[in-house]
Amino acid sequence: MELQDFSHVRAILEHYPPERRFLLAILQDIQKHYNYIPRASLEMVRDYLDVPLSKLYSMATFYKALSLKPKGKHVIKVCDGTACHIKSSQVIIDEIKKVLNIVPGTTTGDGKFSLETVNCLGSCAVSPVMVIDDRFYGRVAPSMVRDILAEYGRLENERA
Ligand code: FES
């Protein structure tokens, strides 16, 4: 059982009329507040919009911006589309894996970083590219990774 305060889910729901067309917006707001979609919140959405739980789960797993697992405080998205792949995006991913000790699709133990790979961020001209939260980095070199991550606070393997 999740021991969490879901009063904010109630506030999010009350912000919208109980109409199914607001479903995605509601889920996005929940994701934004909690950094993931807690399972208990899906039951509250089901009751509010009268939507089958199965539909909510399929939406929460279909949209990459939504997650049923808690995401890190900072979400790192490394592009592994064709242009970035040719420019060695995999080496960038490997460097992040090494520095943070996580693999794509997971989150550091301290909940600080999540690592994801994506297909084409629309900036192939400056590949390889990555985005951390809303900040964009182009022409990323493996040697830049440690400094970039350090901007977001102490690194996982630097803790005393
Ligand atoms: S393939 Fe990476 S930005 Fe287009």
pLDDT by position in tens, the chain (length 160): 445 678 899 999 999 999 999 999 999 999 989 889 999 999 999 999 999 999 999 999 999 889 898 888 899 999 999 999 999 999 999 999 999 999 998 999 888 999 999 999 999 999 999 999 989 999 999 999 999 999 997 554 554 4
CA of 11 to the centre of ligand 1 (A): 38
Query: For a pocket test of ligand 1, which of 92, 121, 140 has the largest count of ligand atoms closer than 8 A to its C-beta?
Result: 121
Query: Is residue 145 within 8 Å of 151, Cβ to Cβ?
Result: no
> CA 52 to CA 1: how far, in whole Å?
21
Domains and CATH numbers, the chain: 7-62 (no CATH), 74-158 (3.40.30.10)
Q: 42: CA distance to ligand 1 center in Å?
A: 34
Under a CB-based contact definition with an 8 Å cutoff, are residues 146 and 106 in contact?
no
What distance in angstroms lies between residue 158's CA and the mean position of ligand 1's atoms? 31
Q: pTM for this one?
A: 0.73
Q: Is the dihedral of CA 132, 154, 33, 37 positive or negative?
A: positive
